[in-house]
Chain A
Amino acid sequence: MSGAGPSQGANRAPPGGSAAAKPHAWGDRASAIARDTLAARAPFDRSLLLVAPATAFMLLLFIYPFLYGLILSFEPAEGGALANYRKFFTTDNLWPTIWTTLRLALPATLINVGVALPIAYKMRVKSRWQRWITTLLVVPITLGTVLIAEGMLTYFGPKGWLAQFLQLLHAYDGSIRLTHNYWGVLISLVISGFPFAFLLILSYVTGIDPVLARAASTLGADAKAQFRHIYLPLLAPGLAMCFCLAFVQAFSVFPSAVLLGAPAGPTRVISIAAYEAAFEQYDYSLASAIAMIMGFVQLIIVAVVLWLRNWFYKGPVTGGKG
């Protein structure tokens, strides 16, 4: 929503004063004319300065570290510019972390988005259920990954309530382990990721005008057809975005992998490798390189998802009145 534009800001008089008032050298006169013209054309809107602190802050503390890290990754302690990257892909406890992390992040995201979609769709009608469930689901998100990890160790552990319950049903033969392994981390990713995906998809679904489904029903579309022809195409962009966000969140898994997983081996995710490089080996250059690789892999997956979305769904992204 655009405001009144630059003309509403504080109008300063042209700083040079009237150009004809005193005799100038040619350069002074030219610059004075330039100032007048510029001032007359686009007076400086001082209120734009309001955004300066935030911009400066972002540039200084987000863009600059990122660029610094990028450059640093090409300046290892020894070896050429690409030594860090070469080291990453040749060290046996480093490059498999990409696959390990993907093995966790992709299934978790698929589960989260795939299960959230039908449930959010069912909940699209505003009811007190919707409000209650929304509130209940917000709780695990705000409690955070660390608490979930500790809770899972207590509850899902070999002596926890879940194990005892399964034992009661004689479904537990003592060999199911859900903590300190891959499954523990996967479950924790689902617990922390599902509410987020659900709430995001719910906001998309409720944003679709229900009169469209009603119109479809008068034209003969039953509930399944309404979902397939009306809701799904309109949700496609949102679903893709939700997948990307959920994936990126899952790919960056860190405390769960340490606390709930087996960080030495099966759940050695890429963020652990980066952390170790930075704070145990004090090799900031390598750590930055690993962080860059991490970001890069995320970018690839996001690009693939968005490309798939465009490929499957050839319709327009926006609709409604232009």
Chain B
Amino acid sequence: MKHDFSELRLDRVTRRFAASGGHVFNALSDMTLTIRRGEFIALLGPSGCGKSTALNCIAGLLPLSGGTIKLDDTRIDTLPPERRGFGMVFQNYALFPHMSVAKNIGFGLRMRGVASSAIAPRVANALKLVQLTGQEHKLPGQLSGGQQQRVAIARAIVIEPPLILMDEPLSNLDAKLRLETRSEIRRIHRELGRATIYVTHDQDEALSLADRIVVMKDGVVQQIATPQQVYAEPANLHVARFMGYRNVIDLAVIGERDGRVALEGPDFRLSGTRKLPLAGARAAVAIRPEEITIAGASDGDNVIAGRVDNVEYGGRDSLVDVVTAGGTRLHVRAGTHLQPGANVFVHVPAERVLVYPAEA
């Protein structure tokens, strides 16, 4: 296989299987994506959204039900995994328990017929890259979770693949180790410059690591965009919810002009920005807790009156629940200290009230 490429094209990739009960389950529907050389792509979504399925299809561990995968001009979806030449890091590392660290890492090179004398220096280099020099002769069972993880990464990169696939590599690590290893992965990617496809359900990981994020739900791609775009301009309500827009409120549409939508709730009015074409008399708005501020005055556009219900102290700020008289609950991230029961006014700018079609 090639050692480098211009682009990997997934064209309407579909994966179906027969689920219990006889009906057909679409794990992945018509996924179309182009990955460029050296790019870091994150597949992001909740469990069951098809991200791991997509990764396994690219690796060749799952056959496609439809669509094609092409590496430049070569069609690769008909090849078994051992002939695709991609490196893969598994979620539970999948280190061979009966082989030492050095043998684990050197396995891919051995399969390619590289002479043992040439394997040793490459393995040493890989160990240096993941900062595990000195652990060559240990067995996986003698390593900690974080160390095993790094061996898994070393094993995938030592074969110098054109593409590295990572399946939720950090999910089995504790929080502190996760942050450290995340930086490691970013550093390794910068040093090697290999295209990487990274599967995760953690939006922080995706935002910090990826050049582009593919947000998925129920086997369907929701949005492909840079982290900044996904964060600030989610394509639909699913993406918004997943990216931390905790306030999703169903409101009545009063009117619309030039993309500005006037909405009305039980006891307040809001002005928002339309993100998708609306249909019907109702719409759903998505607002980030960080973008709601405690207002000084009660007058002005987009000001809502309410009572503080629940305060979760968070050190730098607090997550405050503000409930309006009509029962609408808003989650607000406030820098000031508030008492439950206090009456407050909150404000959110119209550009940050994202308006989507109402949910069914």
**Interface residue B201 (Cβ < 8 Å from any Cβ of A):** no
Chain B residues numbered 260-301 whose CB sits less than 8 Å from any CB in chain A: none
Whether the Cβ atoms of B82 and A320 lie closer than 8 Å is no
Whether the Cβ atoms of A214 and B94 lie closer than 8 Å is yes
A217 to B62, CA, bound (A): 12
**Interface residue A45 (Cβ < 8 Å from any Cβ of B):** no
Q: Which chain A residue shows the least CB distance to B148?
A: A321
| B127-160 Cβ-contact flags toward A at 8 Å (1 or 0) | 0000000000001111001001000000110010
| A187-222 Cβ-contact flags toward B at 8 Å (1 or 0) | 000000000000000000000010110111111111
**Interface residue A318 (Cβ < 8 Å from any Cβ of B):** yes
Interface size on B, residues (CB 8 A): 34
Whether the Cβ atoms of A220 and B111 lie closer than 8 Å is yes
**Interface residue A24 (Cβ < 8 Å from any Cβ of B):** no
* One of A214, A217, A319 near B97 (C-beta < 8 A): A319
Interface magnitude class on chain A: 20 to 34
Chain A residues numbered 170-184 whose CB sits less than 8 Å from any CB in chain B: none
A166 to B20, CA, bound (A): 46
Whether the Cβ atoms of B90 and A219 lie closer than 8 Å is no
A321 to B140, CA, bound (A): 7
Q: Shortest CB–CB separation between residue A138 and chain B, in angstroms?
A: 26
**Interface residue A230 (Cβ < 8 Å from any Cβ of B):** yes
Whether the Cβ atoms of B99 and A315 lie closer than 8 Å is yes
Given contacts A316-B139, A320-B140, A320-B141, contact A218 B96 (CB under 8 A): no
**Interface residue A46 (Cβ < 8 Å from any Cβ of B):** no
Give the residues in chain B near A15, CB-CB below 8 Å: none
Given contacts A211-B90, A322-B141, contact A220 B97 (CB under 8 A): no
Q: Shortest CB–CB separation between residue A209 and chain B, in angstroms?
A: 7
A322 to B97, CA, bound (A): 10
Q: With A211-B94, A321-B145 given, name 10 new contacts (CB 8 A).
A: A217-B82, A218-B86, A218-B87, A218-B156, A218-B165, A219-B87, A219-B111, A220-B82, A222-B82, A316-B139
Residues of A bordering B, CB below 8 Å: 209, 211-212, 214-222, 225, 229-230, 233-234, 315-316, 318-322
What are 13 residue pairs bridging A and B, where the CB atoms are less than 8 Å apart in the complex? A211-B90, A214-B81, A215-B96, A218-B59, A219-B111, A220-B111, A229-B96, A230-B96, A233-B98, A316-B97, A319-B96, A319-B141, A322-B142
